[in-house]
Chains A and B, each alone.
Chain A
Amino acid sequence: MNKAIIIISCSILFAQITVVPQGRNLIQNALLMERKGDLERARTLYEDMLRENPRNRQAYQRLKEILKRTGELESAAQLVEVWINLNHNDLQAYIELGEIVFLKDDKKRAAKIWHDFETTYGTHTSIYRMLVHTFSRLGLTEEMEGLVKRGRSKLGQKDILALDLANYYYSRQTYDRALDEYLIYIIEHPHQEKLVTDRVLLMSDDPENHLLIEKKLVSALENNHVIIDKLLAGYYFKTSRYNEALSTHRSMGLHNNADFKRWLLIAGNLRKESQYDLSIEAYQELLDLELELPPKIIGEALLGLGKTYEDQLLPKTLNNSLVSFYPDNLFFKNEFLQISPRSRESLERTFKLYQRVLQELPASSFSPKAHFRLGEIQFKITRDFDGARTSYLSALASRPDKNLRQNILLRIGETFIAEGNLKAARNHFKLQHRTEKNTSISPFTMKEIHLTFLTGTIDTAKTVLDSVIVNALPNDKYFNDLMELQDIIAQHYTFGSETDKEALVQYSIAERLLQQYKLVEAAEMLAFIRENYPDVSILPIVMLRECLLRLLLEDVSISLNIAQLLQETPFAPQGITIQGEINEQFYGDIDKAMKFYNNLLESYPMSMLAEPVRMHMRQLKNVVES
């Protein structure tokens, strides 16, 4: 201490005279100096402050940091010693003293300081935590382990510092020890399930860790902790071992409501991961417990099952088509599905299931959902618009919740559109639109715009579009759809010639036909535009639309011709890609397809299609090689 006093006194006596600017207090000035990198002056100011008030914590902290930073560890240690003498209760200072001494390479003394500290003050977890953090910072793993061991023994808590230690190991990728500690922790703190699960799942990102994780988790199962089962199930699910995941859940039992909910969740997740068989198995297993189940769970299970069947209905489209026409745009989207023959069975099952829901379960919140799902199948797949409308109306009558009600109403309108009864559709949407008071873009407004476009009243569509976009927020889910339509209208109508305008109106007719699933008529309409309006600005869009439509209709040669023509338009990348796809998928000529793909990469490297095509080429190459 005497030395420190001497040092401080000397530094005060012999330090340069610091000219302190007026109007600022010392600490501000010192901090300013520090920020400016003038550590010498900052140090002098801190020393001044400490001389005036040796208990000035801020000055002490800053001076200590400066001394550490400038490598004057001896002075720093002396400063801390002086501070400890003045502030016996500053426990952090003891640890810091040890740290500084350790950094000075006097490891023995540092160990003694920490040991003395632990002996004197080691009566509380926080003391151990402070030490653990210091040890972890200094990379003293063994000391840390010893400390935690002593702490657990002394304080009689198994999980003390488990999470700290686990995180330490995790950050150093020492996963086995990390897992041990996480498991210790999760058993004592089951509510922290998400945290530990996330960590375990992150560890499992590396397949090399799989064996280790499984081993550790399975070993931990011996103690019959449900939480470990959950972890294991989650791990299996994440590593695509869905069967084992389901088995693990099964082993956890199906006894109470919580179990039922857990079961529904896993079944639903299996469906989302396209594990339809397992999903169905899970739902069935639950439904088999019929008598024990509350009706709500039954309803959920049945709907889930139905959804799983629905999801199995595979649309009959070009496999993984690289080119799409305004993808996911509400205005150009066709809701109809053409399912593959093998999906017929699923369709029947789905029907039966929803019928069962409606028959077996009392009128409840599930009725509207079941009606709605039925309507969806009738609308999208069987294209029984009347039947669908009846189902939707039944759903509407069964007091659905707000969201469902909205969807039902939208679908009712769409049935009118699909029937070609645009007037009825407009009346329907108008009626609904008036009641809508939401700030975000209403789906009814979208439908109204869609209708005006389909009816060829482009001016009206534009006016409504403009007014909606002006008030729309860019994060609205409809925003990009609107922008696409607006762009089409602007380019081919607002800034277009009279012929351009006329062609756009014709094009809207084609879109109307598509909404009615009159694909052939729509294709003919598009061909008509293509042939009769060769100079209009919308021609590239018309051609692309027709090209894709012809593919769907399997008019491959026409599609190929159009694709070739597209090469002279802004949709050249799309034209080239479609040619490649036709050669690949319809003619099975991979080499020729690859030529087209290569052409795309060479000629249009900046196209948005370049990356997907490149990936597709890689896949193709792999397939060919294998």
Chain B
Amino acid sequence: MPSIANHLKRIRREAVQNDLITLAWAAYAFILLILFITIGFEAVFYLSSAIRLITLKIIAGLIVAGTVSLFIVNALIEQNKIKRYSWSKLARAAGKLAFPKSDVVINAYQLEQSENSYTSNSLSKSYIQRISNKLKRINLKKLFPAKRADNWKVFSLSILFLGSLMVIIFWDSSSNALTRWGHPKHEFEVPKPFSITGITRNIHLLGGDSTPLSFEISGLLPDSIFLELIPSTKDTALLLAVKPDTNGRYTHLMEEVYQDYRYRAFSPANHFWQAWKKVVSPDYYISVTDRPIMEEFSITVIPPDYSGLPVNIQKGNQADVKGLKGSTVRIDLKSNRPLNKGFLKLDNEKIPLTIRGKRAAGGFIFNRDALLKIELEDNRGITNQNPIPFHLQILPDLNPEMSVIQPAQIVDLGTDQLIPIHLKIEDDFGFSTLQVGYEIKRPSYIEDESLISIFPISIENSTDLSQEVKTIWNLVELGLMPEDEVHYHFEVYDNDEVSGPKKSISSTFIARVPSLGDLFTAMEEKEDQVIDELIMHSKEIEGIQEQLENMKLEMLKSDRLDWDQQQQMEETLAQVQQEADALKKLAESMEAINQSAEKHSLFSDDLMRKFKELQELVNEILNPELMTDLNAFQDALEKMDMKDIMDAMEKLSSNLDQVEQQLDRFLDIFRRIKAEQKLDETIQRMNQLVEQQRIVNENIQTLDEQTDPATIARLSHEEQRNSEEFSNIRDVMEEAAEAMQEFDLESAAALENLEKDHLTNQTESSLSQTARQLQKQRIQQAQQKSAESLENLENLQFMLADIQSQFQDQTTKEMAGKFQTVMRDLLELSKLQESLEQSTRTMPKNSQRLAAMAGQQQFAQDQLMKIMSSLMDLSKETFAVTPQMGKGIGMANAQMEEAKKKLTKRNGRGAANSQQSAMKSLNEAVLAVYQAMNKMQASGSASGYEQFLQRMQEISGRQQGINDQSMQLAFGQLFAAAQRSLMQRLLKQQRQVQKSLQQLMSETRQSGEQGLGDLGGIAEDIDEVIKDFQNKRYQQRTKERQQRILSRMLDSQKSLTQRGFKEERKAEPANAIVYEGPSGLPVDYGQRRSLAMEALNQSLKAGYSRDYQTMIRRYFNALIQSEEQIIPTDTTFNE
């Protein structure tokens, strides 16, 4: 009986055998698969020899590895190392198949292996035997079925069948593939579908010629082929796609070939499975023979001398050559080949070049725009091909430009007959001449021919391309008479020597010598306009006040504003604002009137001063408080605070009331001044007439029979002019008399009488007779009448002066009388107050009269109010009403009020003290009135202006003293200690001057006695000087400031219109500058920079603060820098 172990060995053998069979069939299937795949791959892709070799080697390696593996596995099985074939596994499998329990066989096997130990041998053996028996009968085929092996068998046969079928079907390819696999080391060529052949093959050309490159295809025609051009210089190859033409040829035209090439065509495979990668033609060659070319080239443009431009050398890479007309152009070139000859071809004109080996040179004068070509021929006779055309372009020498900043288009000449000229001239290369061309036109009734002439203006530096020319044209020499007109224009010539100087002419300007009558009439018209406007504004303001009043009443009715009320208020505010603006404009009108009057010296100094004061008065009408109130009103309205709104309205209303009063005051004074003005005009015109008559008479007296009739005619005209003027003066006399009636009847009557006087009639008659006699050439009679006229005129002149003096005396006296009334009243009140004070002081403390005293005090206060009212009225007539008067009265009023309060509280002593203070204030007012009155009388002027001048004079004297002392510091003549001491002293003095000046300014501002002119700016300078002294330093700047302070002080005394030393915020006339030329000159000349710098300078002079100045500087620097960056890119002019 075989042992269990033997059975198990048998079973294992059966298992291994079964698995080997299965493996064999699987390996077979795999090999077949590999075989057919490799054949297929090779048939399609034509694998390279290397791939094939490697593939085969891998397959062989795998076979060997499989065989070796089999032996190893077998050994492991024998050693029971492989679980699949382990005893236990096999025993269990057998147990499972043959016994009810799967572990029976393993148990038996284990018993068998442990037979002699602790079990019964017989039982074991019996058991083992029984098992063995059963194992003997076991069908191993059942235990290891061959199903898997069969599956593999079927699979491999299927592959074999299918593979064989494919091989048979594609026998050609497969057989070739098998052949190639059979010769793995041999490389087999891939068959291609077509071949490419070059038709043009190798080519020879001259540089710059063109040539076609053609290919033809044998086989299938691809839709395109690639043409590869490889330059001989080994530069980057060119690759071009070429399509077939109708003949099936692939041709590419190669133009202007200048170098050698190698070329070929190819067509790449379109799909990855195509065994061939590309079809390539053989390489072909293009060889090129060189033409002469220019290796070096330069064009030198030498501008004409007058331009001052530098020589410009331009390389050949720029085809545009620009230059001024008259420039010399020189060409220098070097060819790559020795040259035989060469030409410069200017349009159709040929200019030969000078040849020297490879070099050539030539030149010409640049006079017109042209096309320049350079033609060369080398010593082989080969010419250069397509010579580059150079465009010669003439740069224009632009016309000069001119902007007339001053004078205005039409000016009235003043007495000085000077026209300040301020021109800005610009040119690209400089100037030769600047002149004024003028024509003097006499009035039509003179019937004189116009005189045409020129007035040259010197240009300091004619090469300065942009410059301002300032000069003054004195027309006195032209002997202009009233109503003459000078029509003039400015001409500026540039320095163009080639084409001749070009000029620019300004438009025509007119300077007119106005007649005095014209001036006065014009002025009067302006004044009337001012008066009309003032009356209108006064009414407007009154209307606004009414509105405000109504609104106040409305507001009292409710505790909040409705929308309508709010709107109404806003409208009112806007109206007030409008009025304020209008008044500002009015002040400007007054300024214009003043300037005009001053320019033509129309009025006496005294009248001019009064005009100034009037002007200041208009300025003062708009007090800053009004503006503050407006803002406060606006704020209150925004916050909708009823109380604030009411307060703001109250203040605004009060201020408007003041404005209205001021307007009334202005109107009153203006009327008075107008009367004076009329009288002044009469005298002024009479004076001038006398002067003119004197001159004419002198001329007439020198006439004799030999005198040129033209001269006599001229004198006749002049005499006629005088006659007309006299007639006009008579009209003015009438008007003056009418205007004066309101102020002094006596003087008015005297003037009226004078106008109707026999002497006046006689004068008029003699003047016209003189003219007539001259016309008739009756010289003797004319001489007699002329002398008579002059004498009469002089008499009239004297009488008029007398009337003026009488008028002034009378008005001053009248004014003094009014002042006296006020003073008398004040004194009376002062004494009443004194008496009240004494009564109060001595009254028993429990007297019933104490309360009654308050009534008397009220009476005194009412009287004071009357005086105040009178004083207000007086202030409408004269500027001599000073703030001290107002101050005294105001103080007195306050003290009276206080006294009343104390009296009602039975505070007798306190009331007496207040009464005493009231008396004191009244006395102060008296003193002020007395002083003002005396000064007015002493000066003989009712304007009260002298007081201001006197005080100003005193202050400026002190300033002069400080300045003089300061010079010691400047010269460093003192020791340190002495310097310190002097500095302290000067500091103190300067502070005193500052205080006095502030006081004066404040007083004059309050009184409406304005005329500070430039004084406003002094405060700042004084502050600075004080600071310097405080810091114990005295510099040049300090000195300048001191001088400026003094200058302004003196100016303010001398003439209030003169701007003095100060240049801050000086207005520049706004003139339209017509700019017709290019946007600017070449950057080389820095014109733009200079424009910017000028603008900067102007801005810095405009009186801005230091911070603003810094900002302005920064801005302009940035501007200049940005220009420097930008200009080269957009201007290629000189490159």
B-binding residues in A (CB < 8 A): 194, 197-198, 201-202, 205, 234-235, 237-240, 268-269, 272-273, 327-329, 469, 473-475, 477, 479-480, 483-484, 486-487, 490-491, 494-495, 570, 606-608, 610-611
B703 at the interface (CB under 8 A from A): no
**Which A-chain residue is minimally distant from B823 (CB atoms)?**
A487
Q: How far apart are the CA atoms of A205 and B851 in the complex, in Å?
A: 8
Q: How far apart are the CA atoms of A234 and B834 in the complex, in Å?
A: 27
B866 at the interface (CB under 8 A from A): yes
Q: Tell me how far the C-beta of A180 lies from the nearest C-beta in chain B, rounded to whole angstroms.
A: 21
Given A237-B846, A272-B844, A272-B847: A491 touches B831 (CB 8 Å cut-off): no
Contact of B844 among A205, A237, A491 (CB under 8 A): A237
Q: How many residues of B contact A (CB 8 A)?
A: 49
- Per-residue CB proximity of B422-466 to A under 8 Å, as 1/0? 000000000000000000000000000000000000000000000
Q: How far apart are the CA atoms of A329 and B843 in the complex, in Å?
A: 22
A-binding residues in B (CB < 8 A): 816-817, 820-821, 823-825, 827-832, 834-835, 842-849, 851, 859, 862-863, 866-867, 869-870, 905-907, 916-917, 919-924, 926-927, 930, 933-934, 937-938
A197 cross-chain contacts in B, Cβ below 8 A: 845-846
Contact A327 B831 (CB under 8 A): yes
Q: How far apart are the CA atoms of A234 and B845 in the complex, in Å?
A: 9
Q: How far apart are the CA atoms of A329 and B832 in the complex, in Å?
A: 11
Q: Tell me how far the C-beta of A8 lies from the nearest C-beta in chain B, rounded to whole angstroms.
A: 29
Given A201-B846, A272-B844: A480 touches B820 (CB 8 Å cut-off): no
Contact A484 B827 (CB under 8 A): yes
Q: How far apart are the CA atoms of A197 and B851 in the complex, in Å?
A: 15
**Which B-chain residue is minimally distant from A205 (CB atoms)?**
B851
Given A490-B930, A606-B866: A475 touches B923 (CB 8 Å cut-off): yes
Given A205-B851, A570-B817: A475 touches B870 (CB 8 Å cut-off): no
Q: Which 10 A-B pairs have the closest CB atoms?
A: A475-B920, A474-B923, A269-B844, A480-B830, A234-B846, A238-B846, A474-B924, A474-B920, A479-B923, A495-B937
Q: How far apart are the CA atoms of A558 and B916 in the complex, in Å?
A: 40
20 inter-chain pairs at a CB distance below 8 angstroms, sorted by A residue, are A198-B906, A201-B906, A205-B851, A237-B846, A238-B848, A239-B848, A269-B847, A328-B834, A474-B923, A474-B926, A477-B834, A479-B923, A483-B827, A487-B824, A495-B816, A495-B934, A607-B866, A608-B863, A608-B866, A611-B859
Q: Tell me how far the C-beta of B925 lies from the nearest C-beta in chain A, rounded to whole angstroms.
A: 9
Contact B930 A486 (CB under 8 A): yes
Contact of B847 among A238, A487, A607, A610 (CB under 8 A): A238
**Which B-chain residue is minimally distant from A469 (CB atoms)?**
B927
A329 cross-chain contacts in B, Cβ below 8 A: 831
A240 cross-chain contacts in B, Cβ below 8 A: 848
**Which B-chain residue is minimally distant from A479 (CB atoms)?**
B923
Contact A491 B816 (CB under 8 A): yes
Q: How far apart are the CA atoms of A63 and B669 in the complex, in Å?
A: 58
Q: Tell me how far the C-beta of B311 lies from the nearest C-beta in chain A, rounded to whole angstroms.
A: 66
Q: How far apart are the CA atoms of A491 and B834 in the complex, in Å?
A: 25
Q: Tell me how far the C-beta of A552 lies from the nearest C-beta in chain B, rounded to whole angstroms.
A: 20
Q: How far apart are the CA atoms of A469 and B581 in the complex, in Å?
A: 48
B820 cross-chain contacts in A, Cβ below 8 A: 487, 491, 570
**Which B-chain residue is minimally distant from A324 (CB atoms)?**
B828
Q: Tell me how far the C-beta of A362 lies from the nearest C-beta in chain B, rounded to whole angstroms.
A: 30
Contact B923 A273 (CB under 8 A): no
Q: How far apart are the CA atoms of A480 and B816 in the complex, in Å?
A: 19
Q: Tell me how far the C-beta of B734 lies from the nearest C-beta in chain A, rounded to whole angstroms.
A: 30
How many A-B pairs have beta carbons closer than 8 Å: the answer is 107
Contact B930 A483 (CB under 8 A): yes
B835 cross-chain contacts in A, Cβ below 8 A: 328
**Which A-chain residue is minimally distant from B864 (CB atoms)?**
A608
**Which A-chain residue is minimally distant from B908 (CB atoms)?**
A198
B906 cross-chain contacts in A, Cβ below 8 A: 198, 201-202
A273 cross-chain contacts in B, Cβ below 8 A: 844, 847-849
B923 cross-chain contacts in A, Cβ below 8 A: 474-475, 479-480, 483
Contact B905 A483 (CB under 8 A): no
B832 cross-chain contacts in A, Cβ below 8 A: 327
Q: Tell me how far the C-beta of A404 lies from the nearest C-beta in chain B, rounded to whole angstroms.
A: 17
B863 cross-chain contacts in A, Cβ below 8 A: 608, 611
B866 cross-chain contacts in A, Cβ below 8 A: 606-608, 610-611
Q: How far apart are the CA atoms of A474 and B844 in the complex, in Å?
A: 27
Given contacts A268-B844, A606-B869, 18 further A-B contacts (CB under 8 A): A198-B907, A202-B906, A205-B851, A237-B847, A272-B842, A327-B832, A328-B831, A474-B923, A474-B927, A480-B831, A483-B927, A484-B827, A490-B930, A490-B934, A494-B934, A606-B870, A607-B866, A608-B829
Q: Tell me how far the C-beta of B489 lies from the nearest C-beta in chain A, rounded to whole angstroms.
A: 60
Q: Tell me how far the C-beta of B294 lies from the nearest C-beta in chain A, rounded to whole angstroms.
A: 76
Q: How far apart are the CA atoms of A205 and B828 in the complex, in Å?
A: 31
**Which A-chain residue is minimally distant from B833 (CB atoms)?**
A480
Q: How far apart are the CA atoms of A606 and B825 in the complex, in Å?
A: 10
A234 cross-chain contacts in B, Cβ below 8 A: 846
B933 cross-chain contacts in A, Cβ below 8 A: 490
Contact of B828 among A235, A327, A486 (CB under 8 A): A327
**Which B-chain residue is minimally distant from A268 (CB atoms)?**
B844
Q: How far apart are the CA atoms of A483 and B926 in the complex, in Å?
A: 8
Q: How far apart are the CA atoms of A504 and B636 in the complex, in Å?
A: 63
A477 cross-chain contacts in B, Cβ below 8 A: 834
**Which A-chain residue is minimally distant from B829 (CB atoms)?**
A608
**Which B-chain residue is minimally distant from A481 (CB atoms)?**
B831
Q: How far apart are the CA atoms of A216 and B848 in the complex, in Å?
A: 20
A202 cross-chain contacts in B, Cβ below 8 A: 905-906
Q: How far apart are the CA atoms of A272 and B934 in the complex, in Å?
A: 43
B845 cross-chain contacts in A, Cβ below 8 A: 194, 197
B825 cross-chain contacts in A, Cβ below 8 A: 608
B848 cross-chain contacts in A, Cβ below 8 A: 237-240, 273
B867 cross-chain contacts in A, Cβ below 8 A: 608
Q: How far apart are the CA atoms of A436 and B521 in the complex, in Å?
A: 67
Interface centre among B828, B862, B933 (most CB of A within 10 A): B828
Contact A570 B844 (CB under 8 A): no
Q: How far apart are the CA atoms of A329 and B828 in the complex, in Å?
A: 10
Q: How far apart are the CA atoms of A201 and B849 in the complex, in Å?
A: 12
**Which B-chain residue is minimally distant from A610 (CB atoms)?**
B866
A475 cross-chain contacts in B, Cβ below 8 A: 916-917, 919-920, 923
Q: Tell me how far the C-beta of A499 lies from the nearest C-beta in chain B, rounded to whole angstroms.
A: 15
Q: Tell me how far the C-beta of A178 lies from the nearest C-beta in chain B, rounded to whole angstroms.
A: 16
B920 cross-chain contacts in A, Cβ below 8 A: 473-475
Q: How far apart are the CA atoms of A372 and B835 in the complex, in Å?
A: 24
Q: How far apart are the CA atoms of A240 and B930 in the complex, in Å?
A: 44
A570 cross-chain contacts in B, Cβ below 8 A: 817, 820-821
Q: How far apart are the CA atoms of A201 and B851 in the complex, in Å?
A: 10
Q: Tell me how far the C-beta of A477 lies from the nearest C-beta in chain B, rounded to whole angstroms.
A: 6
B937 cross-chain contacts in A, Cβ below 8 A: 495
Given A487-B820, A490-B934, A570-B820: A608 touches B847 (CB 8 Å cut-off): no
Q: How far apart are the CA atoms of A606 and B873 in the complex, in Å?
A: 11
Contact of A608 among B828, B834, B907, B934 (CB under 8 A): B828
Q: Tell me how far the C-beta of A482 lies from the nearest C-beta in chain B, rounded to whole angstroms.
A: 10
Q: Tell me how far the C-beta of B894 lies from the nearest C-beta in chain A, rounded to whole angstroms.
A: 15
Contact B827 A480 (CB under 8 A): yes
Interface centre among B827, B832, B919 (most CB of A within 10 A): B827
Q: Tell me how far the C-beta of A164 lies from the nearest C-beta in chain B, rounded to whole angstroms.
A: 19
A608 cross-chain contacts in B, Cβ below 8 A: 825, 828-829, 863, 866-867
B916 cross-chain contacts in A, Cβ below 8 A: 475
Q: Tell me how far the C-beta of B1001 lies from the nearest C-beta in chain A, rounded to whole angstroms.
A: 25
Q: How far apart are the CA atoms of A570 and B821 in the complex, in Å?
A: 8
Q: How far apart are the CA atoms of A475 and B923 in the complex, in Å?
A: 7
Q: How far apart are the CA atoms of A235 and B927 in the complex, in Å?
A: 44
Q: How far apart are the CA atoms of A608 and B921 in the complex, in Å?
A: 18
Q: How far apart are the CA atoms of A474 and B926 in the complex, in Å?
A: 9
Q: How far apart are the CA atoms of A197 and B843 in the complex, in Å?
A: 16
Q: Tell me how far the C-beta of B187 lies from the nearest C-beta in chain A, rounded to whole angstroms.
A: 89
A484 cross-chain contacts in B, Cβ below 8 A: 824, 827
Q: How far apart are the CA atoms of A80 and B905 in the complex, in Å?
A: 40
Q: How far apart are the CA atoms of A244 and B1012 in the complex, in Å?
A: 70
